[in-house]
Structure 1
Amino acid sequence: DGFKEKRLSMYSHTGTHMDAPAHLFEGGKTLDRYHVGHFFGKAFVVDAAGQGSKIGREFLEQFEKQLNQADYALFHTGWSIYWGREEYYGNFPCLENEAASYLASFGLKGVGFDNISADPIDDASLANHRIFLGKEMVIVENLKNLESLAGQGFFWFSAMPLRTVEADGSPVRASAILGNI
């Protein structure tokens, strides 16, 4: 006898979400212009917890073999423990620009982070965003529970955005599928 329906109203960069090139670049690729297969792929977690506020290229070089085989590199910095607290928006760990350029050279579909941004909160230039999005990679931000995947090797990763016309970003439902890969 009737139905129930919720009205949703939110920004495209709400919660765990994905950034597309159109987020920064006028005329940049929007999420609806990617093949759905771009949002699924072989992933591994870079355990960067304890690396401090800057993650350098030298640290990433030890993962070269995995980066050559992966579609997604997801960064566990340990910062997600601050979710819901003011500290979450503070001095969270980020890649140095040289490290971001190195990472972008592997032809990945995307990168993911357990914090609010690929760039430091005070970096108005958004240099890392420009590096990744300039290669038409997607950026997944505000991931949780990456600590449980650190050291697991490869797994399937899915981060499906809403199919919205001309989306510069979208909330996603991110998931990992473990097993033989």
Structure 2
Amino acid sequence: MHDLTHPIETGMQTYPGDPAVSVEPVATHETDGYRESSLSMGSHTGTHVDAPAHIVADGRTLAEFALDTFVRTAQVVDCRDFDAREAIPADRVPAVAPDVDCLVFWTGWDEHWNTDRYLDHPSLSPAAAQRCAEQGLAVAIDTLNPDPTPSDRASDDEPDGFPAHHAILGAGLLIFENLRNLEAVDERFELQAYPLGLDGDGAPVRAVGR
């Protein structure tokens, strides 16, 4: 089993404009005889899952998905040849075997985690996202976002809004973001990514590749 999750810690990187993350002690062994921490963060902190309700006004929330939805037969798509802010085209989305229900786009961008360069990751073109949706495939990626993330280095020809999110979440599927350590798993593997028990638009997960 391989840990594909970024640790949750104070000051960690978030999507621009999302709540800052704070993990602070509220009790210690020395003063209280036990240890406890206070957590402050957004629902899309770190390695997390997006439910359709994140983008679709009447979309399903996390609680409307069965637990086994968060165990996926995943296939890796190696996209490490794409550079900063490049769009992954539809022809890189493979036709998959019937038992595969999640495509994992491996860009290698997790090596830039907690840096400004992490904002300038490759992204899915709208057509690539639509092809995933047409096959009924959830999407996982080792970046902040399957769409381009706002940055001072964004170009004028990048799509506006969140077309990849709309294509995938609009089809009632899930998106898993900010994976790491994808070099550890095989081309096909079992992705386990159970969210916190929040009935909402998304939640952090402990993502494991088996």
Would you tell me which structure has more helix in proportion to its own residues?
Answer: 1
Which residues of structure 1 form unaligned runs of 5+?
none
Partners of 1:51 and 1:58 in 2: CA distance: 14
Match of 2:145 in 1: 117
2:112 matches 1:82: yes
1:75 and 1:146 in contact (8 A); partners too? no
Output the TM-score relative to the length of structure 1: 0.87
After TM superposition, the runs of 4+ consecutive aligned structure 1 residues lying more than 6 A away are none
Which one of the candidate residues 191, 194, 197 is aligned to 1:157? 191
- 1:70, distance to aligned residue in structure 2 (A): 0.8
Amino acid at match of 2:123: C
1:147 counterpart SS class: helix
1:13 counterpart SS class: coil
Match of 2:65 in 1: 34
1:171 counterpart SS class: strand
Match of 1:103 in 2: 132
**% same residue:** 38
2:40 counterpart SS class: coil
Which residues of structure 2 form unaligned runs of 5+?
1-31, 151-158
Instruction: Give the aligned length.
Output: 169
Q: 1:85-116 CA distances to partner (integer Å, 9 max, x unpaired)?
A: 111112x11111111111111122x2111110
For the pair shown, which has the larger CA radius of gyration, 1 or 2?
2
Partners of 1:19 and 1:141 in 2: CA distance: 8
1:49 and 1:78 in contact (8 A); partners too? yes
- 1:17, distance to aligned residue in structure 2 (A): 0.9
2:174 matches 1:145: no
Q: 1:1-46 CA distances to partner (integer Å, 9 max, x unpaired)?
A: 9543222221001011111111112221111111011000211211
- 1:172, distance to aligned residue in structure 2 (A): 0.6
2:188 matches 1:134: no
1:56 and 1:96 in contact (8 A); partners too? yes
